């Protein structure tokens, strides 16, 4: 593992804990720089975030930022969505999945750019 990979992992964890899409950074790093397939990158991304998510939940809970009333339905439906998405990802294959991921990133980027330019940011 190179020093750049350690740095990418650190910033991915930092962004993930802030809730701003660290997974995108990690997947882009693994596919574009490390040459992994989209499916491999997404699998590593999911494993990478288990300990980061646990630590973030502990800290956010300690700071009173987690509502258990809203958490349970979100977790249950999230589990169903994750199972469906994993099945669909395997059916799609890495090439199509990579294209869908790229379009998703582009849409988010354009939305954020427009929000910044036209002042539609919610605080």
Is 110 within a domain?
Answer: yes
- Domain count for the chain: 1
Is 123 within a domain?
Answer: no
Query: Domain range holding 39?
Result: 3-118
Asked if residue 54 lies in contact with residue 41, where contact means CB atoms within 8 angstroms, the answer is no
Q: Spell out a b/e string for 28-37, using b for 16 or more CB atoms within 10 Å of the CB, else e.
A: bbbbeeeebe
CA distance 46 to 65: 23
CA quadruple 39, 45, 48, 53: dihedral positive or negative? negative
If you average pLDDT over residues 55-75, what whole number do you get? 85
Q: According to the model, what pLDDT value does residue 122 have?
A: 57
Average pLDDT, the chain: 84
> What confidence tier does 107 reach under pLDDT thresholds 50, 70, 90?
very high
Is 74 within a domain?
Answer: yes
Single out the residue of 40, 47, 38 nearest to residue 16, CA to CA.
47
The contacts of residue 44 (CB under 8 Å, 6+ apart) are 26, 30, 36
Checking if the pLDDT of 120 tops 70, the result is: no
Is 41 within a domain?
Answer: yes
Is 17 within a domain?
Answer: yes
Helix (H/G/I), strand (E/B), else coil: 46 = helix
Checking if the pLDDT of 99 tops 60, the result is: yes
pLDDT over 70 percentage in the chain: 95
């Amino acid at each position: 593992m190179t020093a750049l990979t350690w740095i990418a992992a650190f910033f991915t964890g930092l962004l993930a804990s802030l809730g701003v899409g660290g997974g995108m950074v990690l997947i882009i790093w693994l596919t574009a720089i490390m040459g992994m397939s989209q499916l491999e990158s997404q699998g590593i991304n999911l494993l990478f975030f288990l300990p980061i998510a646990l630590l973030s939940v502990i800290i956010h809970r300690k700071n009173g930022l987690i509502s258990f009333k809203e958490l349970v339905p979100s977790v249950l439906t999230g589990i169903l969505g994750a199972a469906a998405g994993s099945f669909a990802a395997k059916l799609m294959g890495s090439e199509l999945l990579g294209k869908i991921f790229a379009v998703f990133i582009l849409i988010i980027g354009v939305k954020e750019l427009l929000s910044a330019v036209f002042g539609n940011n919610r605080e």
